Amino acid sequence: MDFVRYHFETIDSTNTWAKQNVHKFEKDKITIISAEEQTAGRGRFTRRWESPKGLNVYTTFAFYLEKYSSLIGNIPQVLAMSAVEALAELGFIVKLKWPNDLMIQDEKLGGVLCETTAIDNGLFVIAGIGINVNMPQELLQKIDRPATSLLKAGGSLYSIEKVIENLQKYFVRNLEILKLRGFKAFHDAYQRDLMYRIGDPLSFNDFRTIWEGFFHSIKEDGSLNLKLPSGEIKNFLSGEIF
Ligand code: BTN
Protein backbone atom coordinates (compact mmCIF):
# COMPACT_ATOMS: atom_id res chain seq x y z
CA MET A 1 0.00 0.00 0.00
CA ASP A 2 1.24 3.52 -0.81
CA PHE A 3 2.01 5.91 1.97
CA VAL A 4 2.19 9.63 2.70
CA ARG A 5 4.65 10.93 5.27
CA TYR A 6 4.42 14.01 7.48
CA HIS A 7 7.47 14.91 9.54
CA PHE A 8 7.52 17.57 12.27
CA GLU A 9 10.35 19.10 14.21
CA THR A 10 8.09 19.68 17.21
CA ILE A 11 4.55 18.49 17.81
CA ASP A 12 2.37 17.91 20.86
CA SER A 13 1.84 14.23 19.99
CA THR A 14 1.90 12.45 16.63
CA ASN A 15 -1.24 10.52 17.69
CA THR A 16 -3.10 13.68 18.76
CA TRP A 17 -2.16 15.42 15.49
CA ALA A 18 -3.31 12.38 13.51
CA LYS A 19 -6.68 12.34 15.31
CA GLN A 20 -7.17 16.06 14.61
CA ASN A 21 -6.22 15.78 10.93
CA VAL A 22 -7.79 12.47 10.02
CA HIS A 23 -10.13 14.14 7.48
CA LYS A 24 -7.03 15.04 5.39
CA PHE A 25 -5.84 11.45 5.13
CA GLU A 26 -6.45 9.31 2.07
CA LYS A 27 -8.38 6.12 2.71
CA ASP A 28 -6.28 4.04 0.33
CA LYS A 29 -2.92 5.10 1.76
CA ILE A 30 -1.06 4.70 5.03
CA THR A 31 -0.27 8.10 6.52
CA ILE A 32 2.93 8.12 8.56
CA ILE A 33 3.45 10.95 11.02
CA SER A 34 6.81 11.34 12.73
CA ALA A 35 8.41 13.99 14.89
CA GLU A 36 11.79 14.94 16.33
CA GLU A 37 10.15 15.74 19.65
CA GLN A 38 6.73 15.63 21.31
CA THR A 39 5.75 18.20 23.89
CA ALA A 40 2.77 16.14 25.11
CA GLY A 41 3.66 12.56 24.17
CA ARG A 42 1.06 10.12 25.45
CA GLY A 43 1.41 6.57 26.70
CA ARG A 44 -1.22 3.96 27.49
CA PHE A 45 -3.56 4.51 30.44
CA THR A 46 -3.22 8.32 30.13
CA ARG A 47 0.46 8.18 31.06
CA ARG A 48 2.98 10.65 29.74
CA TRP A 49 5.52 9.47 27.16
CA GLU A 50 8.94 11.08 27.52
CA SER A 51 9.79 12.49 24.08
CA PRO A 52 13.02 14.53 24.15
CA LYS A 53 14.24 16.11 20.94
CA GLY A 54 16.20 14.19 18.33
CA LEU A 55 16.79 11.10 20.45
CA ASN A 56 13.99 8.62 19.76
CA VAL A 57 11.35 7.32 17.36
CA TYR A 58 7.92 8.96 17.77
CA THR A 59 5.83 7.73 14.87
CA THR A 60 2.16 7.17 14.10
CA PHE A 61 0.71 4.99 11.34
CA ALA A 62 -2.81 6.09 10.37
CA PHE A 63 -4.95 4.04 7.98
CA TYR A 64 -8.55 3.37 7.13
CA LEU A 65 -10.31 0.11 7.82
CA GLU A 66 -13.76 -0.47 6.38
CA LYS A 67 -14.25 -3.88 7.91
CA TYR A 68 -11.94 -6.25 9.83
CA SER A 69 -13.08 -4.51 13.00
CA SER A 70 -12.51 -7.66 15.04
CA LEU A 71 -8.82 -7.21 14.24
CA ILE A 72 -8.54 -3.75 15.79
CA GLY A 73 -7.28 -5.19 19.07
CA ASN A 74 -4.51 -7.06 17.27
CA ILE A 75 -3.14 -4.07 15.36
CA PRO A 76 -1.00 -2.82 18.27
CA GLN A 77 0.32 -6.35 18.79
CA VAL A 78 1.26 -6.60 15.11
CA LEU A 79 2.91 -3.17 15.23
CA ALA A 80 4.96 -4.28 18.23
CA MET A 81 5.94 -7.50 16.42
CA SER A 82 6.95 -5.42 13.40
CA ALA A 83 9.23 -3.42 15.70
CA VAL A 84 10.78 -6.68 16.96
CA GLU A 85 11.59 -7.59 13.33
CA ALA A 86 12.77 -4.05 12.52
CA LEU A 87 15.16 -4.07 15.47
CA ALA A 88 16.36 -7.63 14.85
CA GLU A 89 17.74 -6.27 11.58
CA LEU A 90 19.89 -3.94 13.68
CA GLY A 91 21.09 -6.85 15.82
CA PHE A 92 18.75 -6.49 18.84
CA ILE A 93 16.77 -9.22 20.54
CA VAL A 94 13.67 -7.41 21.70
CA LYS A 95 10.94 -9.24 23.60
CA LEU A 96 7.28 -8.37 24.07
CA LYS A 97 5.46 -7.79 27.31
CA TRP A 98 1.77 -8.55 26.65
CA PRO A 99 0.10 -6.93 24.87
CA ASN A 100 2.49 -4.59 23.09
CA ASP A 101 5.41 -3.33 25.17
CA LEU A 102 8.90 -3.67 23.70
CA MET A 103 11.39 -4.94 26.25
CA ILE A 104 15.10 -5.62 26.47
CA GLN A 105 15.61 -7.82 29.50
CA ASP A 106 13.32 -6.32 32.12
CA GLU A 107 13.50 -2.75 30.87
CA LYS A 108 11.06 -1.02 28.57
CA LEU A 109 12.42 0.06 25.19
CA GLY A 110 9.18 1.18 23.62
CA GLY A 111 5.43 0.93 23.48
CA VAL A 112 2.37 1.29 21.28
CA LEU A 113 -0.68 3.50 21.73
CA CYS A 114 -3.49 2.58 19.34
CA GLU A 115 -6.58 4.75 18.96
CA THR A 116 -9.45 4.90 16.48
CA THR A 117 -11.68 7.57 14.96
CA ALA A 118 -14.94 6.62 13.24
CA ILE A 119 -15.29 8.04 9.72
CA ASP A 120 -18.10 7.19 7.26
CA ASN A 121 -18.78 3.49 7.65
CA GLY A 122 -15.37 2.56 8.90
CA LEU A 123 -12.55 3.55 11.19
CA PHE A 124 -9.27 5.36 10.95
CA VAL A 125 -6.77 3.48 13.04
CA ILE A 126 -4.12 5.67 14.66
CA ALA A 127 -1.33 3.40 15.79
CA GLY A 128 1.52 5.28 17.47
CA ILE A 129 4.84 3.80 18.51
CA GLY A 130 7.63 5.20 20.61
CA ILE A 131 11.06 3.53 20.64
CA ASN A 132 13.91 4.84 22.76
CA VAL A 133 16.85 4.95 20.37
CA ASN A 134 19.64 7.28 21.49
CA MET A 135 18.28 8.24 24.91
CA PRO A 136 21.15 8.39 27.41
CA GLN A 137 21.07 6.85 30.88
CA GLU A 138 20.60 10.26 32.63
CA LEU A 139 17.28 10.75 30.82
CA LEU A 140 16.18 7.11 31.10
CA GLN A 141 16.59 7.36 34.86
CA LYS A 142 13.99 10.13 35.00
CA ILE A 143 11.29 7.76 33.72
CA ASP A 144 9.25 6.38 36.63
CA ARG A 145 9.77 2.73 35.62
CA PRO A 146 12.79 0.78 34.36
CA ALA A 147 13.54 1.96 30.82
CA THR A 148 16.21 1.33 28.22
CA SER A 149 17.27 2.52 24.78
CA LEU A 150 19.18 1.04 21.85
CA LEU A 151 22.10 3.24 22.94
CA LYS A 152 22.05 1.78 26.45
CA ALA A 153 21.62 -1.81 25.23
CA GLY A 154 23.96 -1.64 22.23
CA GLY A 155 26.54 0.87 23.38
CA SER A 156 26.45 3.07 20.27
CA LEU A 157 24.25 5.57 18.46
CA TYR A 158 21.68 4.37 15.92
CA SER A 159 19.93 6.07 13.02
CA ILE A 160 16.37 7.00 14.00
CA GLU A 161 15.39 7.20 10.33
CA LYS A 162 16.68 3.66 9.72
CA VAL A 163 14.50 2.37 12.57
CA ILE A 164 11.43 4.13 11.08
CA GLU A 165 12.26 2.79 7.61
CA ASN A 166 12.53 -0.80 8.89
CA LEU A 167 9.39 -0.39 10.97
CA GLN A 168 7.44 0.82 7.97
CA LYS A 169 8.72 -2.06 5.83
CA TYR A 170 7.62 -4.75 8.29
CA PHE A 171 4.41 -3.09 9.48
CA VAL A 172 3.04 -2.45 5.97
CA ARG A 173 3.68 -6.10 5.09
CA ASN A 174 2.30 -7.46 8.36
CA LEU A 175 -0.85 -5.35 8.17
CA GLU A 176 -1.70 -6.90 4.80
CA ILE A 177 -1.19 -10.38 6.28
CA LEU A 178 -3.38 -9.48 9.28
CA LYS A 179 -6.19 -8.30 6.99
CA LEU A 180 -5.99 -11.42 4.85
CA ARG A 181 -5.43 -14.12 7.45
CA GLY A 182 -6.21 -12.65 10.86
CA PHE A 183 -4.12 -12.87 14.03
CA LYS A 184 -3.77 -16.63 13.71
CA ALA A 185 -1.03 -15.94 11.13
CA PHE A 186 0.98 -14.25 13.90
CA HIS A 187 -0.01 -16.26 16.95
CA ASP A 188 2.95 -18.64 17.14
CA ALA A 189 5.55 -15.96 16.39
CA TYR A 190 3.87 -13.64 18.92
CA GLN A 191 4.08 -16.28 21.63
CA ARG A 192 7.76 -16.86 20.76
CA ASP A 193 8.47 -13.13 20.96
CA LEU A 194 7.01 -12.86 24.46
CA MET A 195 9.28 -12.36 27.45
CA TYR A 196 7.48 -15.08 29.45
CA ARG A 197 7.48 -18.83 29.31
CA ILE A 198 4.61 -21.11 30.36
CA GLY A 199 4.37 -21.23 34.15
CA ASP A 200 6.19 -17.95 34.81
CA PRO A 201 4.59 -16.13 37.77
CA LEU A 202 2.74 -12.94 36.77
CA SER A 203 0.86 -10.16 38.52
CA PHE A 204 -1.90 -8.77 36.37
CA ASN A 205 -3.91 -5.59 36.80
CA ASP A 206 -7.22 -5.42 34.94
CA PHE A 207 -7.92 -2.03 36.61
CA ARG A 208 -10.46 -3.59 38.93
CA THR A 209 -8.46 -6.35 40.56
CA ILE A 210 -4.86 -7.42 40.85
CA TRP A 211 -4.57 -11.06 39.90
CA GLU A 212 -1.64 -13.25 40.89
CA GLY A 213 -1.08 -16.28 38.70
CA PHE A 214 1.10 -17.92 36.10
CA PHE A 215 1.51 -17.36 32.39
CA HIS A 216 -0.57 -20.01 30.63
CA SER A 217 -0.86 -19.03 26.96
CA ILE A 218 -1.96 -16.52 24.36
CA LYS A 219 -5.31 -17.36 22.80
CA GLU A 220 -5.77 -17.44 19.01
CA ASP A 221 -7.27 -13.93 19.20
CA GLY A 222 -4.20 -12.51 21.01
CA SER A 223 -5.79 -12.30 24.47
CA LEU A 224 -3.95 -13.47 27.58
CA ASN A 225 -4.67 -16.66 29.52
CA LEU A 226 -3.55 -16.51 33.11
CA LYS A 227 -3.57 -19.62 35.28
CA LEU A 228 -4.76 -18.81 38.79
CA PRO A 229 -3.41 -20.69 41.83
CA SER A 230 -6.79 -22.51 41.97
CA GLY A 231 -6.06 -23.97 38.53
CA GLU A 232 -8.73 -21.86 36.83
CA ILE A 233 -7.67 -20.28 33.52
CA LYS A 234 -8.70 -16.65 33.38
CA ASN A 235 -8.81 -14.81 30.05
CA PHE A 236 -8.02 -11.10 29.69
CA LEU A 237 -8.53 -8.84 26.69
CA SER A 238 -6.89 -5.82 28.27
CA GLY A 239 -4.93 -4.77 31.30
CA GLU A 240 -1.33 -4.68 32.35
CA ILE A 241 1.24 -7.16 33.58
CA PHE A 242 3.61 -5.75 36.16
C1 BTN B 1 2.98 3.04 26.06
O2 BTN B 1 2.48 3.58 27.07
O3 BTN B 1 3.69 2.04 26.16
C4 BTN B 1 2.70 3.60 24.69
C5 BTN B 1 3.67 4.66 24.28
C6 BTN B 1 3.35 5.23 22.90
C7 BTN B 1 4.20 6.41 22.56
C8 BTN B 1 4.02 6.84 21.13
S9 BTN B 1 5.22 8.02 20.60
C10 BTN B 1 4.33 8.29 19.13
C11 BTN B 1 2.87 8.30 19.51
N12 BTN B 1 2.46 9.61 19.95
C13 BTN B 1 2.12 9.63 21.25
O14 BTN B 1 1.77 10.63 21.88
N15 BTN B 1 2.24 8.42 21.77
C16 BTN B 1 2.68 7.45 20.78
Supply the pLDDT for residue 1: 79
Ligand 1 pocket by Cβ (under 6 Å): 13-15, 38, 41-44, 47, 49, 58-60, 101, 111-113, 128-130
pLDDT tens by residue, 108-141: 999 999 999 998 888 999 999 999 999 999 999 9
Question: What pLDDT was estimated at residue 130?
Answer: 98
**pLDDT, position 21:** 97
For the chain, percent of residues with pLDDT exceeding 90: 93
Distances (CA, A) of 112 to 59, 99, 127, 189, 241: 10, 9, 7, 18, 15
pLDDT at 120: 85
51: nearest Cα among 206, 195, 59? 59
Q: From its phi and psi, is residue 68 left (phi > 0), alpha (psi between -120 and 50) or beta?
A: left
The whole-angstrom separation of Cα 87 and Cα 170 is 10
Q: What is the mean pLDDT of residues 223-237?
A: 96
pLDDT of residue 242: 85
Preceding peptide of 99 cis, ω within 30°: yes
Nearest CA to ligand 1 atom 11: 128
> Nearest to residue 203, comparing CAs of 213, 195, 218, 194?
213
| pLDDT-based confidence at residue 207 (cuts at 50, 70, 90) | confident
Predicted TM-score (pTM) of the model is: 0.97
Smallest CA-to-CA distance from 56 within 95, 114, 102 is with 102
At 68 the pLDDT is: 62
Instruction: State which of 16, 42, 126 you would mutate to test the pocket of ligand 1, scoring each by most atoms of that ligand within 8 A of its C-beta.
Output: 42
Q: Are 40 and 46 in contact (CB under 8 A)?
A: no
Give tens-digit pLDDT for 68-104. 667 899 999 999 999 999 999 999 999 999 999 999 9
Helix axes 160-181, 75-88, angle to 10 degrees: 130
Give the residue, out of 11, 49, 53, with the most ligand 1 atoms within 8 A of its beta carbon, to mutate for a pocket test. 49
Burial grade of 183 (CB within 10 A; 0-12, 13-18, 19 or more): buried
Using one digit for the tens of pLDDT, what is the confidence trace for 37-80? 999 999 999 999 999 999 999 999 999 998 766 789 999 999 99
CB environment 44-71: b (16+ within 10 A), e (fewer): beeeebbbbeebbbbbbbbbbbeebeeb
Tell me, in angstroms, the distance from the centre of ligand 1 to residue 41's CA.
6
Q: What is the mean pLDDT of the chain?
A: 96
pLDDT of residue 116: 95
